[in-house]
């Protein structure tokens, strides 16, 4: 499990989801783009929930290791979608403005 630290808040999610969010944020920053993502997370009471993030070049994001949680969220579909988005951003040629 990993924490995604955004501003003054940290949210717990799977290793794969946190890594995918960081990779997508890097792809967006490199392309000068922004997007929102709804990440499957675990709240302070251990319940699964969803946390939404704005990913933009000027906004910092930190990923840190956290204790494993056997009741962590199922993030397989989320990781697949975010990985696809990151590949799409990287494969899209820049446009002339």
In terms of residues, how long is the chain? 97
3-state secondary structure of 56: coil
Q: Compute the Cα dihedral for 64, 65, 67, 69 and give only its sign.
A: positive
Question: What pLDDT was estimated at residue 81?
Answer: 96
What tens-digit pLDDT sequence spans the chain (97 residues)? Answer: 999 999 899 999 999 999 999 999 999 999 999 999 999 999 988 899 999 999 999 888 999 999 887 778 899 999 999 999 999 999 977 666 5
Give residue limits of the domains in the chain. Answer: 2-91
81 closest CA partner among 51, 40, 30, 34: 40
SS3 6: strand
Q: Find the angle CA(63)-CA(16)-CA(54) to the nearest 5 degrees.
A: 55
Q: What is the per-residue pLDDT for 71?
A: 75
């Amino acid at each position: 499990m990993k924490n995604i630290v955004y501003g003054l808040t940290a949210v717990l999610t799977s290793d794969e989801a946190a890594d995918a969010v960081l990779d997508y944020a890097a792809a967006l920053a490199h392309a000068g783009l922004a997007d929102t993502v709804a990440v499957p997370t675990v709240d302070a009471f251990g319940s699964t929930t969803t946390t939404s993030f704005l990913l933009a070049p000027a906004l910092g994001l930190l990923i840190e290791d956290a204790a494993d949680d056997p009741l962590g969220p199922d993030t397989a579909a989320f990781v697949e979608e975010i990985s696809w988005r990151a590949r799409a951003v990287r494969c899209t040629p820049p446009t002339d403005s």
